Chain A
Amino acid sequence: GENVEQHPSTLSVQEGDSAVIKCTYSDSASNYFPWYKQELGKRPQLIIDIRSNVGEKKDQRIAVTLNKTAKHFSLHITETQPEDSAVYFCAASIGGSARQLTFGSGTQLTVLP
């Protein structure tokens, strides 16, 4: 089955700096890669996603890059703010009717004011 690895497990940055979280996946058939932000006790919140037919996607301060050959994808957050502090999860799935997600282990991001 699919295996998703995520690094780093914790990340502290100064407010205004950029944060980068990286994930690798094992199944070359995976074609959908969402990123979630989860606050304590809450549901995961989709912040950005990318499909395998594109290499990069951006939404304001958030961007995701995908390298299909190397089977890795990354989340980039620019101009970080204290409210960006949360746990971030990457995930991968093979799109279709099942869309079962395999999650990475998570990154605790702390933005220091």
Chain B
Amino acid sequence: GAVVSQHPSRVICKSGTSVKIECRSLDFQATTMFWYRQFPKQSLMLMATSNEGSKATYEQGVEKDKFLINHASLTLSTLTVTSAHPEDSSFYICSAPGGGSYEQYFGPGTRLTVT
């Protein structure tokens, strides 16, 4: 099946700094990618839809100026958490729909810890 990678897998940063997370589709092109956030013992919550060549669509309650999304190519979307705070500590997972099927392919996730 299709493969989605994420980098880094884990990151620890200090409060007030910015962190960039990359999501890549390795063997297929993805005009759309999704970014989810998952707090401990909770479900995956959609943060935004990343659209290649255009602006991302953010879910209600997600600050677009804090969570910057760039989808500059058909295989790469990036999520930048700006001015991170401890409450941003979470598991961030991206996904991309597979062409020709309804299935979504998830990245392995990025564990962000803000100290």
Q: Do A and B come from one complex?
A: yes
Chain B residues whose CB sits within 8 angstroms of the CB of A93 once the complex forms: 102
Do residues A43 and B107 form an inter-chain contact, with CB atoms below 8 A? yes
Q: Is the CB of B102 within 8 A of A44?
A: no
Residues of A within 8 A of B102 (CB): 32, 34, 49, 51, 93, 95, 99
Q: Within the assembled complex, what's the spacing in Å between the Cα atoms of A51 and B46?
A: 21
| A contact residues, range | 20 to 34
- Give A103 to B42 CA distance when docked, in angstroms: 10
Tell me if B's interface is mostly helix, strand, loop or mixed: strand
Instruction: Determine whether A101 belongs to the interface, using a CB cutoff of 8 Å to chain B.
Output: yes
Q: Which of B44, B97, B109 contacts A41 (CB 8 A)?
A: B109
Q: 8 Å CB contacts to B: which residues of A93-109?
A: 93, 95, 97-106
B83-115 to A contact mask, C-beta < 8 Å, 1/0? 000000001010101000011101111010000
**Contact status A101-B103, CB under 8 Å:** no
A61 at the interface (CB under 8 A from B): no
A residues bordering B, Cβ < 8 Å? Answer: 32, 34, 41-44, 46, 49, 51, 89, 93, 95, 97-106
